[in-house]
């Protein structure tokens, strides 16, 4: 399992939220989509999570630096299971 940290969230017009998690080096990313309603009724979004290596994709080159910065900041300020 690999630890990834929340680096981006995007809302769309269909009521979906796309959460992007990244490794601290910004090189690998994991994306999860969920219904916006689940943010209200569920347990919230965690600062980080453990994912299987096979669930990670390569981060687009133009996002690596930003994702690394955001992931490092989240790791320094939060525990993995903190709700953010």
Among candidate residues 2, 1, 52, 55, the one with its CA nearest the CA of residue 25: 2
Within a domain: residue 84? no
Strand order in the sheet with 28-35: 48-51, 2-11, 16-22, 28-35, 57-58
**DSSP conformation class of 60:** P
Say if 11 falls within a structural domain: yes
Q: How many domains does the chain have?
A: 1
Residue 9 in domain: yes
Residue 40, pLDDT score:
66
What is the C-alpha to C-alpha distance for residues 32 and 23, in angstroms, rounded to an integer?
14
Domain membership flag for residue 83? no
Query: Is 14 inside a domain boundary?
Result: yes
CB 46 within 8 A of CB 3: no
Which range marks the domain in which residue 33 is found?
2-77
For 28-79, write each residue's pLDDT tens digit.
999 998 887 776 676 678 899 999 999 999 999 999 999 999 999 999 999 9
> Rounded CA gap, 40 and 62, in Å?
32
- Asked if the structure places residue 52 within a domain, the reply is yes
Domain-embedded: residue 44: yes
């Amino acid at each position: 399992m690999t630890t990834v940290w929340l680096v981006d969230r995007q809302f769309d017009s269909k009521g979906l939220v796309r959460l992007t998690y990244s490794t601290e080096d910004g090189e690998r990313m994991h994306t999860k989509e969920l219904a916006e309603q689940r943010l209200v009724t569920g347990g919230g979004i965690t600062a980080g999570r453990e994912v299987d290596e096979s669930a990670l994709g390569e981060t687009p080159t133009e996002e690596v630096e930003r994702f690394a910065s955001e992931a490092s900041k989240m790791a320094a300020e939060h525990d993995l299971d903190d709700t953010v």
